[in-house]
Amino acid sequence: MRILLAFIFTLSSPYIFAQNQDSIKQDDIQVIKNFIADLGDENIAVDVVLSQYIKVDHPSNEKYDYLEVSLEEVRINLLYKNIADIQYIPYANMPRKEVRDIDPEKLDINRMYFLQYKKRQVLAVYIDKDKIASFTLVSKGNNLAHFVTY
């Protein structure tokens, strides 16, 4: 009986893990969709979006100023797009040629997402602890880019 239970548990473990990963992805994508919807709403102040959605580990006035300006740029970019047509693509579902120049460093690639509008990348997002830890993908030289966390 123990052997049978151990066997059943062994077979079901990957399924349970996969369900958990799918649940996390769905939650992450919902956070990003809410972020995009609120950022696209000009009636919601950028500082409100910042405090609600962005994870800032080392706060400073300069960092908040930078993030507010960056969010304003993203907002301007969103104004001319139908937000309902934005696709939210996990790193694992991206074509290899699209992500081969991204160095994940020590970040979890299962929490990286790419937003595309009409097959063009609009934004790259990294989620940590149910908040956006980065929406900034920058070059680090040697034809590689990485997420800058705040």
Does residue 84 lie within any of the structural domains? Answer: yes
pLDDT confidence band for 60 (50 / 70 / 90): very high
* Beta strand segments in the chain, E: 87-90, 112-117, 120-128, 131-134, 137-141, 144-147
pLDDT at 18: 52
Does residue 73 lie within any of the structural domains? Answer: yes
pLDDT at 1: 60
Does residue 93 lie within any of the structural domains? Answer: yes
Does residue 13 lie within any of the structural domains? Answer: no
Domain with 74, as residue range(s), is 27-147
Does residue 15 lie within any of the structural domains? Answer: no
Does residue 132 lie within any of the structural domains? Answer: yes
pLDDT at 77 over 80: yes
pLDDT at 10: 56
Task: Please count the structural domains in the chain.
Answer: 1
pLDDT at 16 over 80: no
Does residue 109 lie within any of the structural domains? Answer: yes
Does residue 10 lie within any of the structural domains? Answer: no
pLDDT confidence band for 23 (50 / 70 / 90): confident
Q: Please work out, in degrees rounded to the nearest 5, the angle formed at the alpha carbon of residue 113 by the alpha carbons of 24 and 135.
A: 115
**Nearest-CA neighbor of 28 among 133, 145, 100, 148?**
133
CA distance 31 to 113: 11
